[in-house]
Each structure stands twice: as C-alpha cells, then as structure tokens.
A and B are shown apart, each in its own frame.
Chain A
Amino acid sequence: MIFNDAAEFRASGFSPRVCIVGSGPAGISVALKLAAARVPCVILEAGADEWTEESQDTYRGEVVGDHYFDLDMTRLRYFGGSSNHWAGWCRVLDGHDFEPKPYVAHTGWPIGRGDIDPFLDETRDVLGLAPFLPDRAVSDDFRWFEMQKSQPVRFREKFAAPLAQSPLIALVLNTQVDELVGDGAAISAAKLRSRGAPAGELGAPFFVVATGGLENSRLLLWSNERSNGGVVPHAAALGRYWMEHPMFEVGTGFIEDADAMAFDHEGDAFFTPTVEAMAAREVLNFHVQIESMPYRGVKKFIADTACLVPETTEWVADALGLRLQCSARLHMAWEQPPREHNRVALSATERDAAGIPRIELHWKKDDLDRRTMLEGIRMFGAAFARRDLGRVRISDWVRDGGDWPEDMEIAGNHHMGGTRMGDDLSTSVVDGNCKVHGMANLYVAGSSIFATSGQCTPTTTITALALRLGDHLGRVATAGPVKA
C-alpha cells in the first residue's frame, strides 16, 4: 500500500508492528523481510515520489574540516533515497574487514562476515547482481577483485509496484519524523510532520531508523536532546566515528601485461592488499583502480612512451601536434580510521523549515589517511613491477605531502559511522543486532552502523545487513519487545 500523506494512512486503519523511517535501500530491505515473516510494517518517507527542491533543502548543512560535497547534493530525500543516484558498483566487505586491526584503535565489529553470508543470495536478488567472481592473487601482497558494476537498482522503480500491492507494507510519502519519543528504555512514538505541517504521533512496538548515513545521526541526536537522553541513553559515540572513502587519482603508469589485468568492460581493473601486507606496513584497507586508456598499437606505444619520459615527450608532442599521455591512470580509495572527532553534529545556529537543527559535519583526514595512500601505492607499484605487469609513477602531490586536491573525486559519497555497531557502550551506539544500546525497541539500519568502512562500496553490505536485521525483527516482532 502506498499513501500520499499521514492523513491518508491514518484513514486506512493500518496497524503496523514495526515503523521504519526512510525508504532507501536499507529501509525497503528491512520491510521486505518483515513482510516475508508476515509482520505488518509502515515505511515513513519524508520526501515525495520524485525529487523536489523543497524536500532536498532539508539536507543543507555545513562541513567543517576538509573539502567535501554539498550535503544537499550528496544524498537524496525522496522515495528510494540515495539509490536514485547510486552508481551500482558492488562488492561486500571482506571477512578481515570485520576483524580488529591491532595497530588502529576502534577497529573490529561484534559480528563477522559469516553473520551476513546467509543473506547474500537475497542481497543479489534485491540488487540484481550476478554471483561475484572469486578474488585472484596477483602477487604475495595483492589480489585482483571484481568490482561488480551492476545496472543500478533504483528502489523507487523496482519496488513501487510490489510495495503498492503488499497488504503488509504501508509506504507513507511526504511524511517525516521530526523526533522519536523515548524514556531511556523504549520508544513510545514518532512525532510526524506531513506535507509540511505537524501530523501527530505514531506509535508502534518497534522502530527502525533508516534515513541514511548522515540523517540517522541527526535524527537520533535531535530526538535525544529533546527527550533528555531518552532515545539513546548511551550517547557517547552518537554521531561520532563518521567515515568516508577518500578517493584520489594518485598516479599514472603503463601496462605490460594487459591479459593479467582482466580489465572489465569499462577498461578498469581493481586490486586490494592482503591482510598481511596491510599489517606489515600498518596501513588500512584500500583499493587501486587502474583505469586503462583505450589505445591500441602505435597510439598506445606513444602514450606509454609519454609516460616514461614526460619532459622529452612534451617537446615531441609539440613538434608532432600530439596530445600524449600515459596509458593508465591510477585511482585509490581507502578505509579511513574511525576517529571520534569526525562526527555529525547539530548546528547551533542553522535550522531547517521544520525548526530542526541542520547538520554540521566535522570531517578531516589525518596522518593515517596519508600513510595509507602513499605506502599503499608504493606497495602496489612494487608488486606491479616485480610481476612485470607494468610500471607505476606516483604523482608529485602524493609524494610531497601536498594539499589534498579539490578537483578530483575527493570521496565516494559513502556516509558511514555515527551510530556504529559494537559491544563497548562508550564507542558504539548499536549492538550486533543493530539495536540501540539500552533501548528495547529501537534499531538502526544503513551504513551509519558500520564500525569500520573497509575499502569497498557500501550498498551491497548495507543491503545484506538490512536483510539480516529484517530477519531478526521478523522473529522478535512476533514475540514482542525484548528487555533492553
């Protein structure tokens, strides 16, 4: 069932067991599993069924620290959420990503890859993925891996009809949750605003916050402030340990053994280090993307030569009127260390149209980011040369410790942490079942629960974790709230 506002929904008399806030990949995946378990649920979507400037304005905010995207551009606030501009690149966190790294504080999850493996078949169904190809060792230190570039699923397009026909899922558009009401043990209701006006409260036995990797923190921070700590009673880590995947072009190179690269249909090949290689250099996880230039024959030769002796070929290029470049570009994306000071905070001065404080995002890369980037590409270059796969040249700004460029990718639009998963109440917000510490009926879905980020795109893991949460809630919600 799909309703256009809270009034339509109330008139239906539908009584949900679970209230899900947000209709992106996480929220819809939870709902699908609940429906499969015959548990009625409602999804509250703040936006409409299409992009509107008015809705998007709610996401405006300020970034303090490193250069980053405009916050109202980096995510989308309408049916389907940020899946509406998702690129479709897929990969699941590796098993070692869930394990602690002794040389970096606050790493490690309370669950392992084995806890989400049972949900990967369903994840592939939801995201329309083929089975992943196995990784392949290219050296002692590196593995080639498949970054599956899928046709990106727009959850609005794929699931509008199934949701409309479901008797167990009610999607309510144009209806936001201003705040959750809690007493430090359980959530009693969500205060609604529909079509811009207050719309009363909605009660349910269970609540799932699935509003995205920035808004999850914002909603819980604001709700907690309004209820004097009654929504997240252990809030030391709330909003904190926020992470991105920094992404930069770090070098160029030429390729000797193209067959060993196994380039995908867009001419890209991806490589990631082994756990042992990371530990030996005390860096975090990363991947190197080799973007090949579509040259063949003499053009490729010229491009490779330009790469070898840039000053000389600059002169030759002028003489011949050619534009010469290396035949491969190297991009890196890496795992950020979870730092307490990187955080989502509530603005002290700026509020949105509903009077709710806007986001103030504090984000700054540090020495371990730079070390992971530089030592990572050096390690890759050495492995590349030893195997005679080609040669790599590291860009000057990477070697010289120059300023972070602002004209490159910068980051992946991957918003992780803020409500991270863990056992330690001082450094985490949710437990291994995605339940907020100390609360009987409040859960969080989405990449905000990531304890660490790994190196890969998050949507596949988000979906798997959400299906796991839906499976868990499907059993719990039929039995009633558990003791906090």
Chain B
Amino acid sequence: MRQLPDSRLKRRTFLAALLAIPALALLHRVIRPTASADIVEVDGWILKRSDVEGDQA
C-alpha cells in the first residue's frame, strides 16, 4: 500500500469529510418511493426515510 507523508493525519481529515458527505450526496439523487412510508430507495440504496430527511421525517 502506497503511503503518503503524514498519512494518518490526512486520512483522518479525509474520513471526517467523508462522514459528512453521505446525506448531502444522497439528497441530490432521485428518491424512489417504496410501498412502505418509512423506506425509500435512492440510487439502489434501501434506506430509512430518516436516513435522508433527518429525524423529523
């Protein structure tokens, strides 16, 4: 595995950024309704509606 200088720090930074991305990224996708009000399908992901709309959903 190729190592970057200060890779531990850089990875932490990247990973912290990645953590914040999923919900934002998913909101830009087409949300496919399902037969169940609590479940949505986004880009193939089977998610709880609260995953993409937050706890108020």
- Using a CB–CB cutoff of 8 Å, the interface residues on chain A facing chain B are 251, 298, 301-302, 305, 308-309, 312-313, 316, 319-322, 378, 381-382, 384-386, 391-396, 399
Contacts and interface: CB of A to CB of B under 8 A. Distances in A.
Contacts of A392: 45-46
Contacts of B56: none
Contacts of A322: 1
B44 A399 contact: yes
From DSSP, what is the main secondary structure of chain A's interface residues? helix
B21 A385 contact: no
Contacts of B41: 378, 394
A391 B41 CA distance: 11
From DSSP, what is the main secondary structure of chain B's interface residues? mixed
Interface of B: 1-4, 7, 10-11, 14-15, 18-19, 21-22, 25, 34, 36, 38-39, 41, 43-48, 51
Given A305-B19, A313-B18, A394 B34 contact: no
Contacts of B15: 301-302, 305
B15 to A, nearest CB: 7
A382 B34 contact: yes
Given A301-B15, A305-B15, A312-B21, A393 B44 contact: yes
Given A320-B7, A320-B11, A309 B22 contact: yes
A390 to B, nearest CB: 10
Given A309-B21, A309-B25, A316-B18, A386 B38 contact: yes
A298 B16 CA distance: 12
Question: A-B pairs with the 6 shortest C-beta distances?
Answer: A381-B46, A321-B2, A394-B44, A308-B22, A382-B39, A393-B44
Nearest to B21: A309
Nearest to A280: B35
B11 A384 contact: no
Nearest to A301: B15
A393 B2 CA distance: 29
B25 A312 contact: yes
A395 B45 CA distance: 9
Contacts of B48: 385-386
A386 to B, nearest CB: 7
A396 B44 contact: yes
A298 B12 CA distance: 10
B51 to A, nearest CB: 8
Task: Give the interface centre of B3, B4, B41, B51 by most chain A CB atoms within 10 Å.
Answer: B41
A405 to B, nearest CB: 16
A396 B43 CA distance: 8
A388 B52 CA distance: 14
Contacts of B25: 309, 312
A257 to B, nearest CB: 14
Contacts of A381: 39, 46
Contacts of B38: 386
Nearest to B32: A399
18 contacts: A308-B18, A309-B18, A309-B25, A312-B18, A319-B14, A320-B7, A320-B11, A320-B14, A382-B36, A382-B46, A385-B39, A385-B47, A386-B38, A391-B51, A393-B44, A393-B45, A393-B46, A399-B44
